[in-house]
Structures are given as structure tokens and as C-alpha cells.
Chains A and B, each alone.
Chain A
Amino acid sequence: MRKTLFTGLVLMIVLMLAACSGGKGDEGSQASSPAASNSASADAQASGNADSGEPITLKFASWSISEEATKGALEEMAQKFTEQHPNVKIEFVGIPFGDIKQQTFVMASSGNAPDVIQTFTASFPTYAASDIVIPLDDLLGQDYINDLLPSYKEDYTYNGKLMGVPWAPSPYVLYWNKELFKKAGLPDRAPQTYDEMLEFAAAISKLKTDSGEQIYGLGEATEKLPINGMIALRNIYSFNGSVFGADGKVNVNTPEVIETLKYYQKIVKDGLSPQGAKLKDLRNLFSIGRLGMYSDGYYGRKVFQNLSGKGEAFDSAWGAALIPTNKTNESVSIGEAHGLVVSKDSKHPEMAVEFIKFLTDEPMISLYHDNSDVMSARKSIAVLPAFNASEFDKTLNDQLLHIKPLPANNQGLEQAYLEIATAVQKVTVAGESPENAAAELDSKLKQIMK
């Protein structure tokens, strides 16, 4: 009996091992499917363009490919690139926005990072200061680099080298709900100054929806995320503040930063802004007519169309305007950009850069612009009529000329953004005094941004 059991057990283990290796075999056959399509393109290349070299697969990690609004445009761009370069296949690696940084860093730690990685301004400093991406100056050429808008070039530079390309730039502009302005008896225009903005916001905050729900005048995102710390810089700049003192060293324990924190505290305390709001909450509230004004990037129009459920008909319900002026007496904003970096693990950096150039050249950025209002960070393209056709385009381009560069890239910058967001939470949610919050933030940033 025991002998039979033992034999049975050995058999079972052998079968399990066989099943495991069978699994591997399956993986192999799955992995061979892109190769199969590769060989198809290689065939096409053999018949059409024999000189274009070995078959190449470029892996492109992106969150835009996983999002319904941008998926189609990206697939079309990849297909057009393959038409021009039949030996190259673009393989998308879809990773959600919130996970892309850590996932690509973990991939890189095992030498397996995708060739091209999509990133955004708040996360970019971490890539720039790491050893997983390569400088692009030589690969892109000086003509291309000189064509970039100066503040974006600076935002994507680290230690004097361009470490990424601003692909889809977006200044933060002020969106205002025309219907709510009318309902509150306000003029049919956006506020010109911060004081006027607060005055308008107070008038709108007195309104209620038909079912008696509260309407907010002005929204500021205060969720604890690096991007919200970066957005807070827009307000710090407007209050004529900075992260750095006159000596170039970190100093946020300044009257300007304290005043900015007081502004955050006031708008929440007075019920003008929803407390602890996420950016997506603001977008939702704006789209359902419960928020009068807030700042956002170019994505506004498409997002409102979707969230309001009214499609293009909703376009007439809102306007976009320059950020109101404050202590600097001129509109000041920050520019965010979805960027692209090339990983050190890439075996085809030249082709990866070729792909980036292709994506940021006029035809593809026009396609992206038509699809999602994306602007261009290249001076020669930004002035083209197609990018200045609508009032919305003009506002975005105008604001692009009124943006202040973000702090120079630094290993701790992303963490610093998170600390700024935390300071904003301390004054809005935890009731801490702006003076204390600024002092604490100052000592944190001095440690982080050495």
C-alpha cells in the first residue's frame, strides 16, 4: 500500500514538473506572437525597404494608451511610424498614471525597462536624477533643442543636459462656468485679479443647486499628491514667492509662502473651495455645475464633455482664461508637460529618439491636438495657425508665454512637491497655522533638496 502511495506521489511530482515546463512552453508560444507580427513586418520590409535594417521592437510605457480618450490617437501614431519604418514595431506597455513611475523603476532594476517611458513634470525630476535614463542632447541635435520653449527646456534639463522631451505641454489656465456666473449676477468674463476671483467665488458660493446642494466658487486641489504640490507652486509664484531665497538656497519660510498658505486656508474656511479635494473631484464638480472656477491643463474640454454627459454641447457653458494677476501684476502660471524619456536599457536609443521626434513633429502633434487639444512645446509648431484656431487654443498659447519655470530638477524635487501638498493639507484640513506650516515645510525641504 505504502509502495503504491509512494509511486503515486513520485508520479504526481513528475506530472507537476511536466506541467510547469508545459507552462513555460505556453509562455514561449505566447511570447512568439509579437515576434510573429515582427516577422510579418520584416517580410514587408524585405519586399519594400530592404535597407532599413534589422527588425526592431520599441517598447513604449504609457498611461495614455490605457485611457479611452487618447488610446485611438496613440495607436494611429504608432501605426504611422511603422509605415515609415517598416522594420520597427511599437509595443505599448500600458501602465496606469499613478503606477508608471515605480513600475518602470522596478523594471529598470532588473535591466528590463521599456525603451521609451511616458512621464510628467512632477515625476520627471526622479527620472532625471536617476541612472535609468540617458541624456538626449546628442541624439536630438541642437536645432531640435533650440526649438523648445525655454521654460519647458529648463523643466526637462538636469545638470545642464536635456534628460527628457516635453511631449504634450499644458499651462494651467483658469476655467470658469459661464452659467454659474450668470446665475450669481456676475459679469460675463473671467476675473482679472486674485481679489476679484475671491469676490466672484464668494458670490457663487452663495448659490445652491435646484436640489439644495452646495455650489463652490473656487476649487483648489489639496489631495496629498506630488502633482498638487506642484500646482501649489502656481499660487506661490502668483504671490511673488519661490522655493528659493535670493541666495539661491531653499527658503520657504517667507511672507509670500505664508500668504499663499493663508489663501488656501481662507478659501476652505470660507466654504469657497471644497476641503481636501482631488483634481478629479474638481473636474467632476465643474462638469455638473457645482463649481464656479478652477485651474487645470488643456485636458479640460474633453474631460468636461465626458463628465457632464452633454458632449460638445457643454463647450458653450464654460470659458478658459489666463490665470488672474496677483502680487506680480501679471498672469503667472506653471507649465506641466507629459514628457518622454529614453531608458538606459534601450538597445535602440537612436530609434527611440527618432520615435520621440516623430511624435513631437508637426503632423503627429497636430493629430494629437485635434484629438485632445494637446499643445506643442516647440516654438516653430506652437505658432502655426492650426494651434491657434480657437479661442481656447489662443488662451492656452497665451498662457504658455506666461509661465514660470519650476525649480531646477533635483533628486528630491518630487518628494518636495509632496511636502508642499502636505503643508497645504496641514493648513486646510488640520487647522495648523500658516506660519508653523511654512516653518516645518522649510526645514523639510532643506533636508530633501540638498
Chain B
Amino acid sequence: MRLSEKKKDFLFLAVLILPALLLLLFTIGIPILKSLYLSFFDVSLLSMKTQTWNAFGNYKKLFADQELVHAIGVTFRYVVTVVFLQFALGMMLALILNGKIPFRRALRTVILIPWVIPTIIGALLWMWLFQPQYGVMNFILQRLELIGKPLQWLSDIHLALWAVTIAALWKQLPFMVTMLLAGMQGIPGEMYEAAMIDGAGKRQQFFHITLPMLKNTIKTVTLIACIENFKMFPLFWIMTSGGPVNATTTLSILSYKTAFIDLDLGKGAATGALWLVIMLLFSWVYNRLFAIGEGKGGAAH
């Protein structure tokens, strides 16, 4: 039997994609399904052999004790702050590095250093920098007379989330800069020349050429940054363990704590499931927001 060209193409594509699909199925698909399944059971690591169906019991417990709502609030506050600052600073640095400055190549390499350092090591490093009694951060700020008393970076309810945000910014900024820089280098120089001839200033060039041309890059990198920070675990766990009190308990910390400290896998899985729903909703809204104006030729280039 001879296969039609279309079927051959389909088979060819299927074979190409199959290994990746299988890998994703076993590493992501099945664990997600299993976790959704577990979220409807009373299951604890204390006694894995007994699993009883409790319908929405785990979800009811989650909403009853307020911790979930608090964790969602903390997560969104953290994600919005870190992604906004990351984007603003990243854009500034990318513009500087895209310009004609001395040691441009060397600087582009140096800026990547925090990115190649494993997150766990970065977290430990920042934990020591922020140590209130003998950490470098307080030492420098006190020497510069910017603060009088040592700040309790990681044990002050109002400062702890900012301290983690600073560490996250340090770690993730290189990625943002690199991606934006790559996007900027893809913009044809003639567009800027044409704009200059038309008398456009630097600011106009930025708002009318650079930003619109970077739209897709911005959409992708900020979405990646959002997802990366939504699921950020090591920085929080190592630096604050979700404390002081619950000031830095994000969804990832809450779900880990419930599943592996309280050993309540059912409730932990329910937290994970709700987290998944929130992520999906967020991505959908995000894509819709970026799609505004598209289809009318707004983003065509």
C-alpha cells in the first residue's frame, strides 16, 4: 500500500515529535494527572498504604484556613514586583549595552555571571550577605551612614519579601538583558537611520521603533520571567523558609510545606492543582493582553 504524500508527512512529523512527547508525558503529564488524582484523597506520607477518597475535602480545608489566600497574595506581590523591576532594569541595561560604549563585549559577558551560578548557591550567598549582625549588606549601609541600626533583612515582616526580591533580581536580570539585547540587535539599523532623517529624537526612536519591534520578545521573556517566579522555590526556602511568620509563604512554599513537612500529600496536591489553575488563567489573560491590537496590523513587521 502506498501512502499519500500528506500521510507520509504526518508520519514523518509524528516520528520526529514522538521522543519529546514521550519524555514530556512521563516527566510532566503523568505526574500532573497523578497529582490531580491525589488531591481528591486523604493521603499522608505517614501511611501511604491507606488512601481514602474525600471528594473536595482537601480543597475545603485549604480555603478554610486562610493560608492559601495569603499565599496567593504573597505570590502575586512577589511576581509582579520582581518581573516589573526586572523588565525596567533589564531594558535600561540592554539599551546601554546596545549602545557604543567601551568594553561592550567584556561587559556583556560579565553580566552573565549571576545567571550561571546555581540558584541554591545564590540563595545561600544572599542569606549571608543579609545576615543582620555580621552580614556585608548592613556593614556597608552602616558605613555609608544610610542606616543607623542594622536592618533585619530576612526576619522583618516588611523587609523579608524585598530581600528575596533583590536576590531574585540579581539572579534573573542577566536573562532579561540577554534576551532584550538579542531582540534589539535584530532591529534593522535602517529604521533608525530613516527615523533620524525624519527628525526623530532618541526618545521617539525608543517608543516608536525599539519598543514596538521588541513586542514579541518582551511578551516571551516577561512570560518566562513570570512563570519562573511563580514557581520560585529555592530562594524562598533557603533564605526565609516562608517566614517570618508567613510573610514569604508563596504557593510553592505552601505546597511543599503541606506535602513534605506536614506530610499531607492530599492537601499538598490540592494546593498544586489550584496553583496550576491560577497559572493557566494567568497565562491566558497575559496572552489576551498582548493580543490587543493584533490582527489589525498593529504588530505586523
Chain A residues within CB distance 8 Å of chain B: 2, 5-6, 9-10, 13, 16, 102, 105-106, 108-109, 126, 129-132, 213-214, 216, 222-225, 274-277, 281, 284-285, 288, 290, 411, 415, 418, 422, 425-426, 429-430
Alpha-carbon distance between A93 and B91 when the two chains are bound, in angstroms:
47
Report whether A290 and B262 are in contact in the complex, using a CB–CB cutoff of 8 Å.
Answer: no
With A16-B19, A290-B133, A415-B262 given, is the CB distance from A223 to B152 under 8 Å? Answer: no
Report whether B15 and A130 are in contact in the complex, using a CB–CB cutoff of 8 Å.
Answer: no
Which of A109, A216, A225, A422: most chain B Cβ within 10 A? Answer: A109
Which of A214, A224, A418: most chain B Cβ within 10 A? Answer: A224
Asked whether B49 is an interface residue with its Cβ less than 8 Å from the other chain, the reply is: yes
Alpha-carbon distance between A285 and B47 when the two chains are bound, in angstroms:
42
CB neighbours (8 Å) of A130 from chain B are 45-47, 263
Report whether B260 and A102 are in contact in the complex, using a CB–CB cutoff of 8 Å.
Answer: yes
Choice from B12, B47, B156, B241 contacting A224 with Cβ under 8 Å: B241
Alpha-carbon distance between A179 and B45 when the two chains are bound, in angstroms:
49
Report whether A281 and B157 are in contact in the complex, using a CB–CB cutoff of 8 Å.
Answer: no
With A6-B12, A130-B47, A285-B133 given, is the CB distance from A276 to B241 under 8 Å? Answer: no
CB neighbours (8 Å) of B131 from chain A are 281
B22 CB to nearest A CB, Å: 11
CB neighbours (8 Å) of B133 from chain A are 213-214, 216, 274, 281, 285, 290
Report whether B241 and A105 are in contact in the complex, using a CB–CB cutoff of 8 Å.
Answer: no
Report whether A126 and B48 are in contact in the complex, using a CB–CB cutoff of 8 Å.
Answer: no
Choice from A13, A274, A276, A411 contacting B244 with Cβ under 8 Å: A276
Q: Which residue of A lies closest to B154 (CB)?
A: A276
Asked whether B271 is an interface residue with its Cβ less than 8 Å from the other chain, the reply is: no
Report whether A274 and B132 are in contact in the complex, using a CB–CB cutoff of 8 Å.
Answer: yes
Report whether B245 and A425 are in contact in the complex, using a CB–CB cutoff of 8 Å.
Answer: yes
Alpha-carbon distance between A105 and B244 when the two chains are bound, in angstroms:
27
Alpha-carbon distance between A126 and B241 when the two chains are bound, in angstroms:
20
Chain B residues within CB distance 8 Å of chain A: 8, 12, 15-16, 19, 45-49, 131-134, 150, 152, 154-157, 241-246, 260-263
Q: Which residue of A lies closest to B259 (CB)?
A: A102
Alpha-carbon distance between A164 and B202 when the two chains are bound, in angstroms:
72
CB neighbours (8 Å) of A426 from chain B are 245
A357 CB to nearest B CB, Å: 27
CB neighbours (8 Å) of A5 from chain B are 12
Choice from A2, A106, A415, A430 contacting B245 with Cβ under 8 Å: A430
CB neighbours (8 Å) of A106 from chain B are 45, 260
Report whether A429 and B157 are in contact in the complex, using a CB–CB cutoff of 8 Å.
Answer: yes
CB neighbours (8 Å) of A288 from chain B are 134
Choice from B12, B45, B243, B246 contacting A223 with Cβ under 8 Å: B243
With A275-B132, A284-B134 given, is the CB distance from A224 to B157 under 8 Å? Answer: no
CB neighbours (8 Å) of A214 from chain B are 133, 150
Report whether B245 and A126 are in contact in the complex, using a CB–CB cutoff of 8 Å.
Answer: no
Q: What would 20 more interface pairs be, CB under 8 Å, given A225-B241, A288-B134, A290-B134?
A: A6-B15, A9-B15, A10-B15, A102-B263, A105-B260, A106-B260, A126-B46, A130-B45, A216-B133, A274-B132, A275-B155, A275-B156, A276-B152, A276-B244, A277-B155, A284-B134, A285-B134, A422-B245, A425-B155, A429-B245
Q: Which 10 A-B pairs have the closest CB atoms?
A: A276-B155, A224-B243, A130-B46, A102-B260, A105-B45, A429-B244, A109-B48, A131-B47, A275-B152, A425-B244
Report whether B48 and A9 are in contact in the complex, using a CB–CB cutoff of 8 Å.
Answer: no
Report whether A129 and B46 are in contact in the complex, using a CB–CB cutoff of 8 Å.
Answer: yes
Alpha-carbon distance between A223 and B152 when the two chains are bound, in angstroms:
12
Q: Which residue of A lies closest to B50 (CB)?
A: A131
Q: Which residue of B lies closest to A429 (CB)?
A: B244
* 22 sample A-B contacts, Cβ–Cβ < 8 Å, listed by A number: A5-B12, A6-B15, A13-B19, A16-B19, A105-B45, A106-B45, A108-B48, A109-B48, A130-B45, A131-B47, A224-B241, A275-B132, A275-B156, A276-B155, A290-B134, A411-B46, A422-B243, A422-B245, A425-B243, A426-B245, A429-B152, A429-B245
Alpha-carbon distance between A129 and B262 when the two chains are bound, in angstroms:
12
CB neighbours (8 Å) of B261 from chain A are 102, 415, 418
Q: Which residue of B lies closest to A284 (CB)?
A: B134
A442 CB to nearest B CB, Å: 16
Report whether A105 and B245 are in contact in the complex, using a CB–CB cutoff of 8 Å.
Answer: no
Alpha-carbon distance between A10 and B12 when the two chains are bound, in angstroms:
10
CB neighbours (8 Å) of B152 from chain A are 275-276, 429
